[in-house]
Structure 1
Amino acid sequence: MIRFRNLAEAERVAKRRLPRAIWLAVKAGNEQGWTLDENVRAFSELGFSPTVFDRPTNFDLSARVLGIDVEFPVLVSPVGAQAIHPDGEVGVARAAARAGTAIGLSSWSSDSVADVARANDSTIFQLYWVGSRPEIEARVEAARAAGAKALIVTLDWSFTPRRDWGVPPAPPSDRSISTLARLAPHALSRPGWLMGYLRRGRIPELRVPNLVTLDGRVPYFGKAWADFEATPPPTWDDVKWLRDLWGGPFMVKGISTVRDAKLCVDLGADAISLSNHGGNNIDGTPSPLRQLPYLVDAVGDQVDVMVDGGIRRGSDVVKAVALGAKAVFIGRAFLYGLAAGGEEGVYQVLQVLRNGIRETMYGIGRGSLSELSRDDLLLLNPHFFVPPTR
């Protein structure tokens, strides 16, 4: 069984195991990758002042987000196409359940919301605005029937998937001989990875069951993506309609301005997530961490404020919570664990983060998340905070 002591080890193992094209799809951000690096860099510009007296002996790491109680403030982010290991999203869901936390499930996932919700009863379904309102309504009702506890609408994708180091082959639009021939060299370059699938009697493919059409067809990723690109972006009224349709706990993901945060409050959102899509929105966007305090001050008493991007250690989670986040989402961090060791690898990632949170809080003399504040942080860069321009 694979073991690793930190996420850097998990990342190295994942890189060795995955075919190069898949690794690039997991790792890379947009264009030159400035924002991808910035998301990680921002955490290194905040520090702590450890104490040696009055250190806690008990810790309360629990949080409540979107009406869901979690044992520590780390949730699995909705990430599309987790066909990087045969365990897929169901394995990730099981790992999150074992760790005592929730999973956000993407519309672009390889496993259905029904299967994932059976594996983790704290499943949050993430919806992209793809297709017509009747199609979107059918997906919302499928998530409700499956037992999803909350709904996320993600709005921060800008269709700019250009990468200076090259773009991996587009996900398949079918299962034709020509498609299999085009992708076969990538799979054969990592025979161990491919054999992991074959031993389970399956091949890695990218159908997207949560984007099923009204006539019951399950499209391949490429076809669904073409439909996404052809769909006009949602208006504020569309998102309000979606919020009213769902009726339960509702989050808007991808917020980076005070104006947008206040609009989310106006439409009745219960939570917002500050995000630049893990460096895959507009390259040159600052880390959400730098803007977090401003948005917390603006709307934090009205909605739960979450953040994602660049979290690689438990101390990163403590920094985000100290700046006002209710909890964080992790994306690449758990994908490294999934690629390295399937369900068990994801569970190990979550345990590494949980232990890091507890160790950091011990070092700064805080026994519960509610005790954390901005006073616990040191600014190592006097220009760290970036006020939103709007």
Structure 2
Amino acid sequence: MPRNPWFETVAEAQRRARKRLPRPVYGALVAGSERGRTIDANPAAFAELGFAPRVVGHHAGRDLTTTVLGVPTALPVLISPTGVQAVHPDGEVAVARAAASRGVIMGLSSFASKPVEEVAGAQPDLFFQLYWSGTRETMTQRMDRARAAGAKALIVTLDWSFSHGRDWGSPAVPEKLDLRTMLRFAPAVLPRPGWLWRYARSGRLPELTVPNLRAPGAEAPGFFAAYGEWMQTTPPTWEDVKWLGEEWGGPLLLKGVTRVDDAKRAVDAGVTALSVSNHGGNNLDTTPATIRILPSIAEAVGDEVEVLLDGGVRRGGDVAKALALGARAVLIGRACLWGLAANGQAGVENVLDILRGGLDSAVLGLGHSSVHELGPEDLVIPPGFPLALGGGGLPVAPSAAPADVESPVA
């Protein structure tokens, strides 16, 4: 561990995570589909936007609070639901504690390594994420369990297609940890003694089951069994989305929207909010960066539902840019996991503090007293930057990475 566990940037958290984690584990965090154009484009697009700061009239105090789906949050940043968090023995529970300590909302994945009851005990402001997987009866049981645990909203993720090929190779994920598997992975694990020591000290091995998909009276399925269930489930229709909302009976956020026409259909289906998302580059490669798509969707449906964004947020300035273009809040996935890998709960808190500091600086420099005052006039937007897919604009591909870049820069 570095002598100073605190880090100044999300980029430094990523560097520490890369040094600490076994190569297959780190590879799973930065994996994107195919050549990784979209995973590169997400953060790169934020850098194309500039700020238009004011020189006089700054406010001594700034309000960074907001609400998402009626739940107050100290920061317009939510923890995005991400699967099996084997980067740290405490996994999602450590993330939940960090979220609670910083007053932000946490999204918990169906594929999490910790049960929803345990995570909700650490952070009551919890949104539970559900895939369209299994039968309607099975999904109802999962929603009932999340509701009983205290989940305040449902996140439905529909932007994960079977697009898995990667030019640099997919990360190896074992189905179970037996002696044979541990011997096979030993060359990758032994050079990272810090990660191994954390698990040895905790008295348990990395958890590869998904307890939130456990059927009543059965054992928790393994990751691949759960993944197989999803693959074999007939894809949902808009009527299915409407049914989910009615069955849940509370706030519902649809994750994975990139097209204006889909956003309008989502409103018709009764969703409460939607997230402009390309699954962090793990869906169809060459899908444009989400920040480029956000303005058209916010303009089309922002007065009817709450619009959020995820994909490529690495700085507080990125949060400010997303809010200026119409997002109510953003979700962070990889940034949170890098913090978790770097320093457990404190590392996630560190990441949230970095985003808070950067957002506060942006609000200050732009001459505002609240995040709700941010708008397009605060930005320098290059010609042709916004895209409107499925509704009046040309679906232009995102800016390409340099030709010699073969692996994603997360």
Bucket of the pairwise TM-score, normalised by the shorter protein: over 0.9
Report Cα offsets for 1:191-235 as digits up to 9, x if no partner.
Answer: 220110110101112110011124422011111111111111112
Which of residues 50, 53, 61 in structure 2 aligns to 1:50? 53
Q: Is the 8 A contact 2:25 2:86 kept in 1?
A: no
Secondary structure at the aligned position of 2:322 is classed as: helix
Could you say which residue in structure 2 is the equivalent of 1:298? 300
Structure 1 range deviating more: 232-241 or 12-21: 232-241
Residue 26 in structure 1 maps to residue 29 in structure 2: yes
Secondary structure at the aligned position of 1:107 is classed as: coil
Alignment TM-score, normalising by the size of structure 2: 0.92
CA–CA distance in structure 1, aligned partners of residues 70 and 181 of structure 2: 43
Deviation at 1:175, TM superposition (A): 4.3
Which residue identity is paired with 1:124? Answer: F
Q: Is the 8 A contact 1:160 1:282 kept in 2?
A: yes
CA–CA distance in structure 2, aligned partners of residues 195 and 177 of structure 1: 18
Alignment TM-score, normalising by the size of structure 1: 0.97
Residue 276 in structure 1 maps to residue 278 in structure 2: yes
Secondary structure at the aligned position of 2:107 is classed as: strand
Could you say which residue in structure 1 is the equivalent of 2:332? 330
Secondary structure at the aligned position of 1:273 is classed as: strand
Q: Is the 8 A contact 1:135 1:214 kept in 2?
A: no
CA–CA distance in structure 2, aligned partners of residues 276 and 230 of structure 1: 22
Q: Is the 8 A contact 1:171 1:221 kept in 2?
A: no
Q: Is the 8 A contact 1:55 1:366 kept in 2?
A: yes
Which residue identity is paired with 2:366? Answer: I
Alignment of 1:74-153 (within 5 A): 74-153=77-156
Pair 181,237 (structure 1): closer, same or farther in 2 beyond 3 Å: farther
Q: Is the 8 A contact 1:30 1:162 kept in 2?
A: yes
Could you say which residue in structure 1 is the equivalent of 2:390? 389
Q: Is the 8 A contact 1:66 1:271 kept in 2?
A: yes
CA–CA distance in structure 2, aligned partners of residues 224 and 194 of structure 1: 26
Report Cα offsets for 1:146-167 as digits up to 9, x if no partner.
Answer: 0000001000011111111111
CA–CA distance in structure 1, aligned partners of residues 23 and 376 of structure 2: 41
CA–CA distance in structure 1, aligned partners of residues 80 and 285 of structure 2: 20
Deviation at 1:248, TM superposition (A): 0.7
Report Cα offsets for 1:339-374 as digits up to 9, x if no partner.
Answer: 000100000000000010001111111110121110
CA–CA distance in structure 2, aligned partners of residues 7 and 308 of structure 1: 16
CA–CA distance in structure 2, aligned partners of residues 160 and 177 of structure 1: 31
Alignment of 1:189-200 (within 5 A): 189-200=191-202
Alignment of 1:368-387 (within 5 A): 368-379=370-381, 381-387=382-388
Which residue identity is paired with 1:92? Answer: V
CA–CA distance in structure 2, aligned partners of residues 66 and 94 of structure 1: 21
Count the aligned residue pairs: 388
CA–CA distance in structure 1, aligned partners of residues 317 and 178 of structure 2: 47
Q: Is the 8 A contact 1:154 1:253 kept in 2?
A: yes
Secondary structure at the aligned position of 1:305 is classed as: strand
Which of residues 253, 260, 266 in structure 1 aligns to 2:262? 260
Could you say which residue in structure 1 is the equivalent of 2:207? 205
Gapped runs of 5+ residues in structure 2? Answer: 392-410
Report Cα offsets for 1:15-49 as digits up to 9, x if no partner.
Answer: 00000011111012111111001001110111012
CA–CA distance in structure 2, aligned partners of residues 251 and 189 of structure 1: 41
Report Cα offsets for 1:86-121 as digits up to 9, x if no partner.
Answer: 120000000011111000000000001111110001
CA–CA distance in structure 1, aligned partners of residues 111 and 186 of structure 2: 22
Q: Is the 8 A contact 1:103 1:122 kept in 2?
A: yes
Structure 1 range deviating more: 237-246 or 182-191: 182-191
Which residue identity is paired with 2:265? Answer: L
Secondary structure at the aligned position of 1:199 is classed as: helix
Residue 167 in structure 1 maps to residue 204 in structure 2: no
Could you say which residue in structure 2 is the equivalent of 1:317? 319
Q: Is the 8 A contact 2:297 2:388 kept in 1?
A: no
Structure 1 range deviating more: 269-278 or 289-298: 289-298
Deviation at 1:136, TM superposition (A): 0.8
Which residue identity is paired with 1:189? Answer: P
Which residue identity is paired with 2:104? Answer: T
Q: Is the 8 A contact 1:211 1:219 kept in 2?
A: yes
Q: Is the 8 A contact 1:170 1:222 kept in 2?
A: no
Pair 206,118 (structure 1): closer, same or farther in 2 beyond 3 Å: same
Residue 72 in structure 1 maps to residue 71 in structure 2: no
Deviation at 1:186, TM superposition (A): 3.0
Could you say which residue in structure 2 is the equivalent of 1:223? 225
**Identity over aligned pairs, percent:** 52
Report Cα offsets for 1:247-279 as digits up to 9, x if no partner.
Answer: 011110000111111111111111000000001
Which of residues 330, 343, 346 in structure 2 aligns to 1:344? 346
Deviation at 1:176, TM superposition (A): 4.0
Q: Is the 8 A contact 1:46 1:378 kept in 2?
A: yes
